[in-house]
Amino acid sequence: MLLHRIKCLLLLLLLLFSTAATNRAGATLPLLGNGGGNEGALLAFKAEISGHSGVLASWNQSTSHCSWEGVMCSRRHRWRVVALDLSAGGLAGTISPAIGNLTFLRLLNLSINTLQGEIPPSIGSLRRLRRIDLTTNMLTGVIPSNISRCTSLRLMRIGSNKRLQGSIPDEIGNMPSLVALGLYDNSITGTIPRSFGNLSQSIILSLSNNHLEGSIPARIGNNPHLRFLQLSSNNLSGLLAPSLYNLSSLNTLSVADNRLHGRLPPDLRKSLPSIQQFLIARNLFSGPFPLSLTNLSSLQLLGVRLNSLPELFLPK
């Protein structure tokens, strides 16, 4: 239920950021140019796609590419593609490297398809990109490190690609505008980059259901804006740094199904005043349970079972 909520919140952010982002039924513009190769890039993208069930039927040179399904062009820079939204379009095949030629692109949404193959490194050329959603596909390989060159990126969702492997690039932690990062439900290994402590604007950090190891970087707790920290179902170990218990804006702390240990602070009511979901079940936490947490009016969901906490202190 929690993971579903996190996904919904990420989707909501995507929708908020992409108001009127697509032009599925937009007016046809005069065919006066191709926007510096934008038309060619789109046709190269189409050439790698199969099973689109008519979604790309309008993609032909008899009309302006700005009128094609899922394509939106800039009003200021004519013929320049600023949004490509083909979510749930029944797309199969691979993502063409030509996508990197759409240099004015701000939104790329290819979620809920059956795309395979690797994420092309050419995506790093999209310096204006603000939102990317590749969730729920069959992508393989690794997350390209040069995606960090998309310095305007605010939302990155690359979740639910079970064959996506490798480690999280350290460079992602140096993306100053990133507000929401969702890399959940993959097969990512390695550790959580310490550079994630630099994501000072992030509201959502969701890395659940992977194979991450090591400790949770203490510097993540230095972000005053963080509201959702979702790290459940990994192989994380060690202590939770005191800074993670002092996030006054935090709504959700979910670290269940790991190998974390240590004692809980006695007065979580004061240190986590906004907490709504506190989920630490199936770890190795010990010591008395801070009953002050159960008196917090904002608390909606509490999961602490299957630790080494004395049953006497657990709420019924």
Tell me which residues of the chain have a pLDDT lower than 70.
Answer: 1-36, 52-53, 311-316
Contact assessment for residue 110 and residue 91, using Cβ atoms and an 8 Å cutoff: yes
Measure CA 256 to chain center. Answer: 19
Check residue 54 and give its pLDDT: 84
Strand 81-85 and strand 235-239: the pairing is: unpaired
Check residue 82 and give its pLDDT: 98
Q: What residue segments make up the domains of the chain, in order of their start?
A: 2-21+160-313
Give 181's contacts (C-beta < 8 A, 6+ positions apart): 156, 172, 199, 202, 204, 205, 206, 207
CA 28 – CA 51 distance, rounded (Å): 25
Check residue 102 and give its pLDDT: 98
Check residue 3 and give its pLDDT: 56
Q: What is the pLDDT of residues 170-219, one digit of tens each?
A: 999 999 999 999 999 999 999 999 999 999 999 999 999 999 999 999 99
Q: What is the pLDDT of residues 111-147, one digit of tens each?
A: 999 999 999 999 999 999 999 999 999 999 999 999 9
Check residue 22 and give its pLDDT: 40
CB atoms within 10 A of CB 297: 7
CA 275 – CA 298 distance, rounded (Å): 6
Check residue 23 and give its pLDDT: 40
CA 266 – CA 285 distance, rounded (Å): 13
CB crowding 220-238: b at 16 or more within 10 Å, else e: bbbbeebbbbbbbbbebee
CATH architecture for residues 2-21+160-313: Alpha-Beta Horseshoe (3.80)
Contact assessment for residue 139 and residue 159, using Cβ atoms and an 8 Å cutoff: no
Helix (H, G, I), strand (E, B) or coil at 83: strand
* Average pLDDT taken over every residue of the chain: 90
> Across the strands, what pairs with 259?
237
Check residue 124 and give its pLDDT: 98
Scan for tokens 């005043």, then name that residue.
273
Check residue 291 and give its pLDDT: 84
